[in-house]
Amino acid sequence: MKITTVLRSAAAVTALAFAVTGCAQSSTAAKNNAAGDAGSKTVRVFISGDTNIQNLWEKELAPAFEKANPGYKVQVQIDLHGEHDAQTLAKLTSSVEQKKDADFDLVDGGFVAKASGAGLLEPMDTGKVAALGDVPADVVKAGGTGGIPYRGSSVLLAYDTKSVPTPPKTLDDLLAWIKANPGKFTYNSPKSGGSGASFAATVLDKYIPADARQKMTVGYEKDLESTWDQGFDTLRSLNPYVYQKGVYPNGNKQTLELLASGQISMAPVWSDQFITGSANGSIPATVKAAQISDPSFTGGAAYLGIPANTPNKDAALKLANFVLEPEQQAEIVKEISGYPAISLDKLPADVRDKFQNADTNNLRKGYFDQMSKDMNNLWDQKVPGQ
């Protein structure tokens, strides 16, 4: 994607009301639904994400859905930061194989594409979710047959204009700037947040053949991990030049705090967090953001999915369609700075203006889930302290 100004983006979406401790409530709802009473109009949403997603649903999307659809209710479970994704996917797999209720009707998580590929989700098309016709075909395809794209996100390069009046425009320019300005750049460790992981992946991608990179975005290609060697060498060579000669923050937030406090002058950041910080004053007005190229930082769509055997399929589809309506897509832009999933021409003029310098439908994809995990582990072994 191409971005020359600060843009809204990223984060996560999907949620309302009760927490992970609400397993008993979830089970009760499932029994009500199976019994065919009013619970059949309750949509149980499971989120693998952050509290900003929960807040969006509690305060905006869920109340709006319930108001627009009298008799329907939304309940939410949240697995904060997706710490139990493997267990959730295993539970979903078991429920489908045994033809049992998974205890949720709509899921928002990074494992949706994997679940789709495993045949665990209800197949989607425009007959079930009409707005898919307004989403780029390649974005729909990336989520598999069962993925429902509903927002997008990417990582940007944030910089303090007091010390960096003109930011680097390419990855090579950025790497040269880091070495020319020791101590003024850093990124969080890849395991601790997506902005740091995006920077690491982008450096690795500089040296990977295009056909190999494509394979690594859609499947687990462990044999191709040797193509990362040169990129890891480059990342390791940056140690003397990053903040305090090799300090990597723990998480996206700590990176932003270093930037906001003036301890560093440049860093990769999630644009949703950047926009929010700029709006509430926690990030100074002198700090701006842009995208680099050759290659750009990674981004992509976030997907919803409906378990293949949910007893509340109709209600879940109703909610999925609602989230993709222009009014709700505009709300996602407003509340969490997410890229809209549907075509910009479907949205109000003020929303379109926010993305006038962005190609919101051309986000450079990250690695396949297991490839990302391997990259994170290898970074821990090969980069810091070396």
Count how many Cα atoms sit within 13 Å of the Cα of residue 230 in the half-sphere of its side chain.
8
96 vs 278, which has greater pLDDT? 96
From first CA to last CA, the distance across the chain in angstroms is 33
C-alpha distances out from residue 74 to 160, 186, 208, 291, Å: 42, 41, 44, 37
Amino acid 343: pLDDT: 86
**β-pair partners for 84:** none
Amino acid 21: pLDDT: 32
Task: For residue 40, report the phi and psi dihedrals to the nearest 5 degrees.
Answer: -65, -10
Mean pLDDT in residue range 184-204: 95
Residues 274-303: tens digit of each pLDDT: 877 887 899 999 999 988 999 999 987 889
Residues 112-124: tens digit of each pLDDT: 988 999 999 999 9
84-93, 192-201, 217-226, 336-345: range with lowest mean pLDDT:
336-345
Element (H, E) at 43: strand 42-49
172-181, 214-223, 255-264, 314-323: range with lowest mean pLDDT:
214-223
SS3 113: helix
DSSP E strand stretches across 171-254: none
